[in-house]
Every structure is written in structure tokens, then in C-alpha cells.
Amino acid sequence: IPTVEEFKLLKTLGKGAFGKVLLAAHKPTRHLYALKVVPKAKCTSRKQIRQVLSEMDILKIVKHPFCVVLQFSFQNSEFLFYVFEFAAGGMLFYHLKEEGRFTEARARFYIGEIVLALEYLHGLGIIFRDLKPENCLLSAAGHIVLTDFGSAKKLLEGEKTSTLAGTPHYMAPEVLKGEPYTTSADWWSCGVLLFEMITGKTPFESSDRMELYRAILGGHFKMPMFVSIRARSILYELIQTNPDIRLGTVDENDSSVSHNDIKKHC
Ligand code: ADP
Ligand code: MG
Ligand code: MG
């Protein structure tokens, strides 16, 4: 297990809720990594500690081509260090801001990979809960690298949760309402993300928090003219306020059939 002295810190890749993510070169191997540094002093409340431990537990079991790989982790007296494979292609967020919006073909490519990652996580009982362009990175080859399992939650068989988690613009109505919810909440966020990729904007926008919540709970959004019929139908089925009939939702009585097989649409 390495120590932080073995890494040359090159630049900041991102800043987050708990700490920083740095581009770091491992001196002995010259390999580049994304080093997430979490100051222990920032994890004081019981909730924060639980979150950091849960992120770690989930990262240890997640192994999928479109999910970030935690190579190893270590700590010193002050910090927790997580060493991730470096996603050299940057955030989807960055590319989207740069290009305004993506062609539907490109959006389909990304969302297809995200769907596979979500299906894998849901199969493990994990709700991702923070799907947004900042957490979708790209590998050097241009594939999706889903990152940031800090909000993810592993459910027991048949369990539901009702904790408020995620980023407001991407949060499903049932999450906002504090109702018990399950993996279906990720499919709503997936719809919001697809809409944003195709149009350059999220479907529900307001600088006023209460107004934003009201819009999400209502579930009505404007569909730009240029969106194809095929994309529209997927968007309406994902951004569906009723989680029971939302695209991607798994029938509880028969988990072998998706309520509506999302892969057919991608
Ligand atoms: P937080 O939970 O604080 O949001 P993240 O794990 O999302 O932390 O990391 C914050 C940012 O750091 C990301 O949005 C991304 O820009 C960058 N980042 C994180 N992991 C990697 C990685 N493996 N490769 C490249 N950049 C990364
Ligand atoms: Mg993040
Ligand atoms: Mg996080």
C-alpha cells in the first residue's frame, strides 16, 4: 500500500463536497491517477462518517466497464486518500457546456453506456442517486466512467429508502416528497440527463428552489421542436412522475422482467 509521498501532485481535477480530486503521478510507476483527498476534519458528524464509509463499501464491490475503478486507498493522520483510475476524457458536463448540446446519436451512445452501468448497479441493489453531467466522466477512449458513489445507497432485498439525496434539478418527485423510493429514482435522473444532453438544458429550471420543486412535482416540461419522435417518447417515459410506470422500473413481483425494457429503446 502506497503513501502520499509516492505521488507527485500535478493539478486539481475537481472540488467536491468533502475534498479535492487531484491529478497525481505515481512516481515509482509513472502512472497517472485521480487522487481524491478527504480531510478527516471535514467528516465530523455521524452522517458524514456514514457517507464516507458507505462510499468506500460500494466502491469496493463495483466492477463494471463504465464505472470508476478504485485502485486502492490509504490514509494518514489528517486525510483519507482514494486512488482512482484517471478518466482522461473529462466530465460530460464540460463537453456539454463547450458544445451546447449533443447530436442524438452521440447522446444515445452515452446514455446507452449509462443505462448499462445503472442496470449493473441496480442488480447489486445499489441506487446511484446522483446522476448528473458532473459525475459522468469520459475515459481516454471516450467511454462513460460513472463516478462519485458518495450519494449511492445499497438496499437490502425489498428495502426502500426515503432519504433526501442528490442534486435538486435531477431529483425524482418521489425523492423530493420524502416518499419511500427505490432504484426507479435513477431512471428519472437518467431522463433528465438525456434531455440535457439533447437540448443543452435541464427540463426543470428555476433559480427559485420552491418553484423548481413545484415544477418537478408537476412533471410538465417543454419539449423543443427539434427533438425526434423516438427521443421524445423515451424522455416522456423516463421523466414520468409515477415511478411504477416509469421506463426502467422493474416489476416487483417478477424481477426478471423490466416493466419496460429500456435497452430496446436505446
Ligand atoms: P464529490 O463527491 O465531491 O462531488 P467526485 O468524486 O464527484 O467528488 O469528484 C469531483 C470531481 O473531480 C468530478 O466531478 C471530476 O471533475 C473530478 N474527478 C473525480 N474522479 C475523477 C477521475 N477518476 N478522473 C478524472 N477526474 C475525476
Ligand atoms: Mg461529484
Ligand atoms: Mg460525492
| pLDDT > 90 in the chain, percent | 80
Give yes or no for residue 54 having a pLDDT over 70: yes
Calculate how far, in angstroms, residue 148's C-alpha sits from the geometric centre of ligand 3: 5
Tell me, in angstroms, the distance from the centre of ligand 3 to residue 82's CA: 12
Q: What is the 3-state secondary structure (H, E, C) of 39-91?
A: EHHHCCCHHHHHHHHHHHHHHHHCCCCCECCEEEEEECCCEEEEEEECCCCEE
Burial class (CB in 10 A: 0-12, 13-18, 19+), 143: middle
Poorest-confidence range of 45-54, 146-155, 214-223, 255-264? 255-264
Outline where 171-208 has alpha helix (H): 173-176, 184-199
The helix (H) or strand (E) run that includes residue 144 is strand 144-146
Each residue's pLDDT tens digit, 78-123: 999 999 999 999 999 999 999 999 999 999 999 999 999 999 999 9
Which ligand has the nearest atom to the CA of 18?
A: 1
Locate the ligand 1 atom nearest the alpha carbon of residue 68 and give its number: 23
Residue 130 known to be catalytic: yes
